[in-house]
Amino acid sequence: MNGKYDAFFANTPATPLVENPLDRLGWSSFFAQQTDADALLATPPVRVTSVHRSGLQVQGADINAILPPRKDATVGDWFLYEAENVPESHLLERKSLIKRRSPGKDRFEQLIAANIDTAFIVTSCNADFNIARLERYVALAFDADVTPVILLTKPDLCDDTQPYKTEAQSISDFVAVEVINATSDSVAKQLATWCKMGQTVAFLGSSGVGKSTLANALAGNENIETGAIREIDSKGRHTTTRRELHFVGTGCAVLDTPGMRELQLTDAAAGVSDLFADLQTLENQCKFRDCAHDSEPNCAIKAALKRGEIDQARVTRWRRLVAEDTFNTLSLSERKHKEKDLSKIIKSLDLKNRNERPK
């Protein structure tokens, strides 16, 4: 980077009065530093605002275009736009990426959303509240390099929100917890820290907890649910799609994509280790590398439980997430392979047993 465009492209606070259209789209120094001022003029940045079968809808400072479909990009991605040779547009490195494995047999990876800054994990102060589910979402966010923030909605329908808040706060010291009435006037104010200009946020959580209500409160007069757009697909037909990246009143972008709503914890190993770093450190002190923290001697986890330093329920949730994650990460062939290995081991154990049996 050099010269007079530095401040402009790096989105520095040195130019607060002139709103750069790219700022609103979420452009930041993280992306600017992957290129230089000359390249930016030749191939201006564009962001994927929605994904369709016919291609990727992209938006730039004064560009509104469609890139040909490609599997390695998703909503929220940034490209350097090659006007002369559109398919050659260059995909920029991501700040964060949410992906999932498809539930089908082939279990290929689907990219759900890129470059989200904050994931609001929404649950209500009632029967929906489930600490294990919250933990899953937090692990998923950590794994994707997205900052998780827990929002506890419907406080007005609950006698005492404190127990919910205390439990949610016990998940991690690094995750903010906000009690928020989604139907109140103070939503935008309460979420302002995370919804500044140029930020990209998403809402995760079960149906009916208030995600749309919160998103609409941020949007002000705009109604996100009715933000459908009509466009012409590659065969010239009119199609109606939901927009996926909504630029709302506070200046932030709200990402709403169907894939987000179906997220499960899949291969979020890094997130699980972040979330349970203390337990993983303890585990390293167990005598056996494959300690099941069950009946093994010199088990550091059991010792810490006995001393009352850690909580049994949390240990159980951690073990389940690790097991689930290991299984989810396996491909179908690996699973078969593993099954084969397993049956071999069982057979050999049986054999050993038989041979050692007294005649």
Ligand X SMILES: Nc1nc2c(ncn2[C@@H]2O[C@H](COP(=O)(O)OP(=O)(O)OP(=O)(O)O)[C@@H](O)[C@H]2O)c(=O)[nH]1
Binding residues: 153-156, 205-213, 286, 291, 293, 299
Piece of 117-125, 208-216, 229-237, 286-294 that binds Zn ion (CB under 5 A): 286-294
Interaction mask 300-319, Zn ion, x per CB under 5 A: -x------------------
Tell me whether residue 68 or residue 208 sits nearer to ligand X (CB atom).
Answer: 208
d(CA 88, CA 82): 6
* CA-based torsion, 23, 28, 29, 35: positive or negative: negative
Query: Residue 182 binds which entry of ligand X, Zn ion, none, with Cβ cut-offs from 5 to 8 Å by kind?
Result: ligand X
Piece of 78-86, 251-259, 270-278, 295-303 that binds Zn ion (CB under 5 A): 295-303
Is residue 299 a contact residue for Zn ion (CB under 5 A)?
yes
Q: Which of 320, 276, 280 is nearest to 301 (CA)?
A: 280
The answer to whether 43 touches 90, Cβ cutoff 8 Å, is yes
Is residue 182 a contact residue for ligand X (CB under 6 A)?
yes
Tell me whether residue 140 or residue 209 sits nearer to ligand X (CB atom).
Answer: 209
Q: 35, exposed or middle or buried, with CB in 10 Å at 0-12, 13-18, 19+? A: middle
Piece of 83-91, 198-206, 211-219, 298-306 that binds Zn ion (CB under 5 A): 298-306
Residue 129 main-chain phi, psi, to 5 deg = -65, 125
The DSSP code sequence of 69-124 is: P-TT--TT-EEE--SSSGGGPEEPPPS-EEEEE-SSSS--EEEEEE---EEEEEEE
Q: Rule CB under 6 A: which of 133-152 touch ligand X?
A: none
Q: Which residues of 102-125 are buried (b: 16+ CB within 10 A; e: fewer)?
A: eeeeebeebbbbbbbbbbbbbbbb
Query: Residue 301 binds which entry of Zn ion, ligand X, none, with Cβ cut-offs from 5 to 8 Å by kind?
Result: Zn ion
Query: CB 240 → ligand X: shortest distance, Å?
Result: 18
Query: Residue 109 binds which entry of ligand X, Zn ion, none, with Cβ cut-offs from 5 to 8 Å by kind?
Result: none
Is residue 262 a contact residue for ligand X (CB under 6 A)?
no
Query: Residue 212 binds which entry of ligand X, Zn ion, none, with Cβ cut-offs from 5 to 8 Å by kind?
Result: ligand X
Query: Residue 68 binds which entry of Zn ion, ligand X, none, with Cβ cut-offs from 5 to 8 Å by kind?
Result: none
* CA-based torsion, 222, 20, 74, 238: positive or negative: positive
Q: Name the helix (H) or strand (E) containing 355.
A: helix 332-356
Place of tokens 């709302």: 248
Q: Rule CB under 6 A: which of 193-222 touch ligand X?
A: 205, 207-213
Among 177, 254, 260, 291, binds Zn ion (CB under 5 A): 291
Tell me whether residue 6 or residue 296 sits nearer to Zn ion (CB atom).
Answer: 296
Query: CB 180 → ligand X: shortest distance, Å?
Result: 7
The DSSP code sequence of 251-311 is: S-EEE--HHHHT----S-HHHHHHHTHHHHHHHTTSSSTT--SSS-SS-HHHHHHHTTSS-
Query: CB 216 → ligand X: shortest distance, Å?
Result: 8
Residue ranges that bind Zn ion, judged by CB under 5 A? 286, 291, 293, 299, 301
Residue ranges that bind ligand X, judged by CB under 6 A? 153-154, 156-157, 181-183, 205, 207-213
